[in-house]
């Protein structure tokens, strides 16, 4: 397994859980739990590892802090907030991993790389913002913000109004060569945080930030493709992907082909904003490679506590090409 | 010059200037100016480069945002804010450098590495906090905060009260091997931002964050020593280091030995919080190395617009071992 490259996407709940206030100490505790699981993966012999992570609650907190302090501190754009969240969360995850490695007797450097992801300014997502970010507003506040800042906003299931931002498709991980070099040297790398910092290329190929967010599972799948990874592991809150989720006919998937998963997705089994993006990320990673082919690529979807068993083929949902 | 390792410390004014409101656009403009200077250094043939930077105004803004939003968002500790500033500033600097390289026709990867720096919890600095951070408070607010949060605070030259935090000596750059590997592969690395994220080692060698800040010039000097760098470049707001600064007898230093600089510093020529820490960083970098020796190590202190001439030996202050 020394030459197998693993890309592991941590779900949002690797750091913050529903119903918690989200203190720094709570986040450190969750990071520690997740890191202990990943230490076992390294102990099992996997050497080349990229760890990615979501940042929804954290970037929401940064946006809210920016807003509440706007009279005193000029606010940062969304791409700047994503960059800050990569630093803040990368620090917590790299420290947690290093500590878990130390306890497990694993000697392995860990580093966080600030990662940009290129999107297309002509992506149709920019005409149709769908991703809710930041806090809930009253209808009156929402009306004012839509007028004053040109935000798109939407009422969210009786909980209030939220800002919607575009979620375009990721096209290119800017720092992929740096990630590859470190991973191949045996460094466990934390990168592509929050789906990457969204940037666009100008006609002269210059990069600049743009206000949107990239789905972290899709960005992770792109990174995994660009890195030539063998296994993409998507960690989430359930042990296996289910069809007929929440119904008496619910059935967990253990081994599923790309064709089968695609038809189940088309039949509406996987909810948007929940299992849907993970399934799409799995299908994206397993698309045929443009040149050559790498046998045995697969995607695992499971919860953090089962990752070791899943990698051994005994748990989780396995999607195979 | 291909095998010469340069470590370049950007001063705080590389991103934010006195008297500006500090908008994101202002910061991007300054980054672009500084990056264009550094592109010329790469064009001049230097291949191995670490760029470090201060974060005083930016971490002050983050602390203020945390405070003003504290009723809605649990505040981050100071080490978490430094980590966020590394992500946010690293993103701006790496994007600015990549753009300057592109314009100059230089092909070179750029990456930001989140960097921790170990300090000693028994450092006398923890008993004597000296570094002002964050905003100014009224005397009444300061009294309340000193009681409620146990902050040390000090009245600052009639402008109000500010929180003082410890500024202990940096002992070890945790990610130095990762920095070295990337630098040696030709990646221009942004790291050790804001002097590094301060951490302490427990008796079991586990790392955890601690509320303090590390002087960015001293942390940069340590990184340069650990990396075996040949030249430490400290960029600041003046072309050369001066003795009798601001007096009729003012004299700029062009070439100065360690012994001479040390005696000028002892005579009080270099102000604390201004040129003092840069001189101390220069002396620290040029201390004899524990094993072996590297001939020709030197420190350059100058302003960004003169860095190319200074590296060619025609400008700036050169401190030689």
Tens-of-pLDDT digits for all 321 residues of chain A? 668 999 999 987 777 776 777 788 999 999 999 999 999 999 999 999 999 999 988 999 999 999 999 999 999 999 999 999 999 999 999 999 999 999 999 999 999 999 999 999 999 999 999 998 888 899 999 999 999 888 999 998 888 999 999 999 999 999 999 999 999 999 999 999 999 999 999 998 899 999 999 999 999 999 999 999 999 999 999 999 999 988 999 999 999 999 999 999 999 999 887 899 999 999 999 998 876 655 679 999 999 999 999 999 999 999 998
Q: Is residue B281 part of a domain?
A: yes
Residue A135 placed within a domain: no
Give me the torsion for CA of A112, B36, B235, B301, rounded to 10°.
Answer: 130
Q: Is B278 a catalytic residue?
A: yes
Query: Which residues of A carry out catalysis?
Result: 12-13, 131, 216, 278
B13 is catalytic: yes
B13 in a domain, yes or no?
yes
Nearest to B84 among A88, A116, A177 (CB): A88
Specify the pTM.
0.96
Local confidence band at B202 (pLDDT 50, 70, 90 cut-offs): very high
pLDDT one-digit tens code per residue, B86-143: 999 999 999 999 999 999 999 999 999 999 999 999 999 999 999 988 888 999 999 9
Inside any domain, residue B91: yes
State the alpha helices, DSSP H only, in chain B: 24-43, 56-68, 78-104, 139-149, 176-184, 216-227, 258-266, 275-286, 307-311
Name the residue among A265, A273, A266, A238 with its Cα closest to residue A252: A238
Answer whether residue B294 shows pLDDT above 70: no
Per the document, the length of chain A is: 321
Q: Is A303 within a domain?
A: yes
Whether residue B57 has pLDDT greater than 80: yes
Indicate which residue of B11, B13, B96, B191 is catalytic: B13
Nearest CA in chain B to A24: B76
A152 or B16, higher pLDDT: A152
Q: Is residue B11's pLDDT more than 90?
A: no
Domains contained in chain B, number: 1
Question: Could you tell me the CATH number of the domain that includes residue A79?
Answer: 3.40.1160.10
Contact A64/B at CB under 8 A: yes
B 151-170: CB under 8 A from A: none
Whether B268 is in a domain gets the answer yes
B190: distance to nearest CA of chain A, Å? 10
Contacts of A55 in chain B (CB under 8 A): none
Q: Is residue B158 part of a domain?
A: no
Question: What integer is the mean pLDDT of B234-261?
Answer: 94
> Are B58 and B24 contacting, i.e. CB atoms less than 8 angstroms apart?
no
Residue B252 lies in a domain: yes
Residue B2's pLDDT is what?
A: 65
Residue-level pLDDT at B291: 67
How sure is the predictor about B39, in pLDDT bands with cuts at 50, 70 and 90? very high
Share of chain B above pLDDT 70, in %: 98
Cβ contact, residue pair A86, B87, below 8 Å: yes
Determine the Cα angle at B204 with ends B199 and B207, to 5°. 20
Which pLDDT value is given to residue B1? 66
Task: Note down the domain range covering A191.
Answer: 5-56+63-120+170-320
Angle at B144 (CA atoms; ends B141, B150), nearest 5 degrees: 120
**Measured between CB atoms, does A187 come within 8 Å of chain B?**
yes
């Amino acid at each position: 397994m020394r030459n197998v490259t693993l890309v592991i996407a941590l779900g949002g709940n690797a750091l913050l859980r529903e119903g918690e206030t989200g203190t720094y100490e709570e986040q450190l505790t969750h990071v520690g739990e997740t890191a202990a699981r990943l230490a076992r993966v390294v102990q099992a012999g996997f050497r080349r590892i990229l760890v990615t992570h979501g940042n929804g609650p954290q970037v929401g907190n940064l946006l809210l802090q920016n807003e509440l302090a706007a009279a005193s501190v000029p606010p940062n754009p969304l791409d700047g907030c994503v960059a800050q969240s990569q630093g803040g969360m990368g620090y917590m995850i790299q420290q947690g991993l290093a500590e878990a490695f130390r306890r497990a007797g694993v000697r392995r450097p860990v580093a966080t790389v600030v990662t940009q992801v290129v999107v297309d300014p002509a992506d149709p997502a920019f005409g149709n913002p769908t991703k809710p970010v930041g806090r809930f507003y009253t209808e009156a506040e929402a009306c004012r913000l839509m007028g004053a800042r040109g935000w798109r906003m939407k009422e969210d299931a009786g909980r209030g109004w939220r800002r919607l931002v575009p979620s375009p498709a990721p096209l290119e991980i800017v720092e992929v060569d740096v990630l590859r070099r470190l991973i191949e040297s045996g460094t466990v790398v934390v990168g592509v945080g929050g789906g990457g910092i969204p940037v666009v290329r100008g006609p002269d190929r210059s990069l600049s930030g743009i206000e949107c967010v990239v789905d972290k599972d899709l960005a992770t799948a792109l990174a995994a493709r660009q890195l030539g990874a063998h296994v993409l592991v998507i960690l989430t809150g359930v042990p296996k992907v289910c069809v007929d989720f929440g119904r008496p006919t619910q059935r967990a998937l253990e081994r599923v082909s790309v064709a089968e998963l695609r038809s189940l997705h088309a039949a509406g089994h996987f909810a948007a904003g929940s299992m849907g993006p993970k399934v799409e990320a799995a299908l994206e990673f397993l698309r045929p490679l443009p040149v050559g082919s790498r046998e045995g690529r697969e995607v695992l979807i499971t919860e953090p506590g089962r990752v070791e068993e899943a990698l051994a083929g005994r748990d989780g949902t396995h999607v195979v090409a």
